[in-house]
Structure 1
Amino acid sequence: MDLVYLGTPEVAVPPLRALVDAGHRIHRVVTGPPRRRARRAEPSPSPVEAAARLLDLPVAYDLEHLDDCGAQLGVVVAFGRLIPAPLLSRLPMVNLHFSDLPRWRGAAPVERAILAGDTWTAVCLMSLEAGLDTGPVHDRVHLEIGDRTADSLRAEMSEAGARLLVESLGAGLPAPRPQEGEVTYADKITRDDLRIDWSGPPERALRQVRVGGAWTTWRDTVIKIVEATVDDGRLRPVILRPQGRGDTDFESWWRGARADPGEWFE
């Protein structure tokens, strides 16, 4: 099939490679422009651009003339930008969305599913519309969340989505069905979403750690909790990242902290 591909981060790389391996013709890859990953570093290409260059695929950073490049369909995976409605009217597009739609429409579906304590999630192949993740769904595959972190779950969903995409396009795209059920929205994760509340349920705190970026304070200094467990009804840090330092195991850090009797994180 003649396609254009729109994606930017690492999770969008496996579906691109799977489409190429399946024999689909990618007329253009649209991605985000090179960015600095560190303050003094040179701008580097997005993961999708790097993969596209290795696959000898043409790369663009904008949507100009996308409907004139000979493609029958656009495939969108974590592109990071809205597709204008006029373009969608000229070039149909499908999108891999990482939630069990209509649950968790929006920017952070993986993180919101974990924070909410969801047991299952899904990857949906949906028709792209002007609305926020409102399009009908061609097919979906369900995955158990278990105790995965957001990063590991997202990687598994990317691989599952790649298989779903290839199978669905190979079968001629199943007829889309309108989304059914309660609609919930996956707003972007904020810093406040990830602050540990030590008076709250430890299971929720552990879910914050699994999302990534969970933090607390020690004597007015921010400390991130990288890994943790729940033991005896309490969150037990395993790996910490003190401000301005690298990761360290909790026991070593605690011995050096010289805590006063009864002192704990704030």
Structure 2
Amino acid sequence: MRIIFMGTPGFAVPVLEALAQAGHDIVASYSQPPRPGGRRGRQLVASPVQQAAEALGIPVFTPVSLRGEEEQARFAAHDADVAVVAAYGLILPRPILAAPRLGCLNVHGSLLPRWRGAAPIQRAILAGDAVTGVGIMQMEAGLDTGPVKLEDSTPIGRKTTGELTDELAAMGARLMVRVLEDPDRYPARTQPEEGVTYAAKIDKAETRIDFTRSAVEVERQVRAFNPAPGAWFEVAGERVKLLAAEPVEAEGAPGEVLDDALTIACGEGALRAVSVQRAGRGVSSADELLRGFAIPAGTRL
């Protein structure tokens, strides 16, 4: 098929690479424009999808918006059979949705209609969902409201967002390749009206740890924001990211450090820190942190 690929972060790269390996003709790749990055944010850095597409020799387009008639005409001129979308990050106007012969198919990281929206993987972990998955959805004008052609699921367990993202990206790539082998074999199924939830974009305020919550809830927060942006607490005027922690049976005032192993009391139960990161430094174990940065028992975080 003649495919337009639309994606931006690392989640989308396995899908792009799988389509190329399957022998499809990827006539264009769309991604969000390069953003400031590198050392001190002084240089523009292309998205993971742009970098992967350029490595594959695929023409890359990075419009700020797809609402203009000129941009829409350029999109239609690719004469694509289908557009494959994976975490692109821009709204697709109706003329874009209608341009390819088979429309636009989206790789969405949840079991729809649960967690429509921008941050389905993080929201599933934060909510304590037991299972999540990927759906191949026929896109329409609504926010992730389109019918689903094919889906698969996986248990969440103690996975972090990083681990789950990698797993779901690979799963989505496999599913999309299957659908495009024979689209008629996978008729679109209308989403049920019950069970709709929305995965709002993560706000920075959500990343600060509130130790008045239960240890179970805080541990979910830690996994949901690993590897980025990282759940954090403040001690001695410095932010410390908590990247991995284990719930333990212990009691104390919420936020109180209970021992010399960085066990922290929560509203219910406690958490023992496993992996941490000080501002401007690399990831370390809690033991390594404490050897050079004292956080004695009785400290309140």
The TM-score normalised by the length of structure 2 is 0.83
Report the equivalent of 2:205: 192
Corresponding residue for residue 121 of structure 1: 132
Which runs of 5 or more residues in structure 1 are unaligned?
A: none
Aligned counterparts of 2:209 and 2:122: Cα–Cα separation in 1: 15
* Superposition map of 1:135-146 within 5 A: 135-146=146-157
Q: State how far apart, in whole Å, the 2-side matches of 1:40 and 1:194 are.
A: 22
- In the alignment, which of 134, 137, 140 is matched to residue 145 of structure 2? 134
The two structures, once aligned, show a CA RMSD in angstroms of 1.7
Measured against aligned partners, the alpha-carbon deviations of 1:22-73 in whole angstroms (never above 9, x if no partner) come to: 1111111111222222335432221111111121111111352111112111
Q: Distance in 2 between matches of 1:93 and 1:249?
A: 45
Whole-angstrom distance in 2 between the partners of 1:259 and 1:170: 57
SS at match of 2:45: coil
Q: Where does residue 32 of structure 1 map in the other structure?
A: 32
1:20 and 2:28 correspond: no
Structure 1 residue 230: Cα displacement: 1.4
Which structure carries more relative contact order (alpha carbon 8 Å, separation 6+)?
A: 1
2:274 maps to which residue? 238
Residue 239 of structure 2: aligned partner = 222
CA distance in 1, matches of 2:84, 2:127: 29
Instruction: Identify if the C-alpha distance between structure 1 residues 262 and 97 changes in structure 2 by more than 3 Å, giving closer, same or farther.
Output: same
Q: Which runs of 5+ in 2 are unaligned?
A: 250-268
2:252 maps to which residue?
A: none
Q: Deviations over 1:163-207 (max 9, x none)?
A: 000011112251111111311000111233222222321111111
In the alignment, does 2:117 pair up with 1:106? yes
Q: Partner letter of residue 56 of structure 1?
A: G
Tell me which residue corresponds to 2:187.
175
Mark the CA change 1:40 to 1:106 in structure 2 (over 3 Å): closer, same or farther. closer
Residue deviations 1:219-262, cap 9 Å, x none?
34322112211122411112222234333332343355445652
Partner of 2:10: 10
Q: TM-score, normalised by structure 1?
A: 0.93
Aligned counterparts, 1:250-265, within 5 A: 250-259=286-295, 262-265=298-301
Q: Percent identity?
A: 41
Q: Which secondary structure state, in structure 2, belongs to the residue aligned with residue 36 of structure 1?
A: strand
- Cα distance in 2 for partners of 1:159, 1:17 equals 10
Residue in structure 2 matched with residue 57 of structure 1 by the alignment? 58
Within 2, Cα distance between the matches of 1:258 and 1:59?
A: 50
Q: Bigger shift: 15-24 or 54-63?
A: 54-63
Which deviates more, 241-250 or 56-65?
Answer: 241-250
> Cα gap change, 1:40/1:172 in structure 2, threshold over 3 Å: closer, same or farther?
closer
Q: Indicate the SS of the match to 1:43.
A: strand
- Is 2:53 the counterpart of 1:44? no
The answer to whether structure 1 residue 205 and structure 2 residue 222 are counterparts is: no
Distance 1:236 1:24, change over 3 A: same
Segments of 4+ moved more than 4 angstroms: 255-261
